[in-house]
Amino acid sequence: MNAMFRAMGTRFDINDLLIVGIALTLALTGVSSLLSPVGNIAVSAVVVLVWLLLGLRRSRRRRGGGREGEFQERRRGVLFTVGLKGVERGSLLDLVVDRLEPEVVGLLVTSETAELSGIEEFKRRSRVAVTIERVDLDDWEGCRRATRRALDELLDRGLGPDELVVDITGGPKTLSLAAFLAAEDHQVETQYVKSDFDPVTKDRVPGTERQVLLTTYREAMPPPMGE
């Protein structure tokens, strides 16, 4: 059933279904009076109430974000937006994989980044399962759908939404934004890796990387790994 809801572009849990079921029951009880103005108003009110309740539940699930600091916890799966320098040895992709220790990594690539020789080398050195989803930057909705497919593939491997994170540090801004919105659709957390850069060489300064968790759906963040 989750697969059916994912195909519709959203995710529901059992409580959502209960809300819909109760609302439908209330609506059906008013079928006999549908021809009257009172009946029409009552059914309309029920429909509005359902969407308000679902909206409130979804807003409560999202716990905000913007937390910056050390990498918080291990993730079984990480989905990356890949830039032109995103797969080189020693890249942020390597660093995130090292810190979060995922079992599977998903790569969202464009026509340019898909041809990078470093992708195959990354697959060999990372020793984790790697999935690749190609996107077309000229198709905004296509980018979003591709991210959904990539997330669906990770979820279909038995990983839960709270075991995943989408890293939007690399890649074109269009792809990063589409990936962020698709992650919101699936209620999967997103992160950005913030770093200091050398003012002369413009290179990233090793050891300055911090995880910025852009969204979270949990009540409280766990302590950093090692504590």
Could you tell me which residues come within 8 angstroms of residue 143 by beta carbon, excluding any fewer than 6 positions away?
Answer: 135, 136, 137, 174, 175, 178, 179
Residues 102-109, mean pLDDT to the nearest whole number: 94
The lowest-confidence range among 25-39, 145-159, 182-196 is 25-39
Position 145 scores a pLDDT of: 93
What value does the mean pLDDT take over residues 187-210?
89
pLDDT at 30: 53
Closest by CA to 190, choosing from 203, 180, 200, 198, is: 180
- What gap in Å lies between CA 51 and CA 7, rounded to an integer? 20
Residue 16 token pair: 């959502």
pLDDT band at 133 (very low <50, low <70, confident <90, very high): very high
For strands 210-213 and 67-69, give the pairing.
antiparallel
pLDDT of 10 strictly over 50: no
How many angstroms separate the CA atoms of 40 and 30, rounded?
A: 8
- State yes or no: pLDDT of 227 exceeds 50: no
- Express as a percent the part of the chain with pLDDT over 70: 63
Per-residue model confidence as pLDDT tens digits over 31-53: 555 555 555 555 555 554 554 45
- Per-residue pLDDT at 124: 84
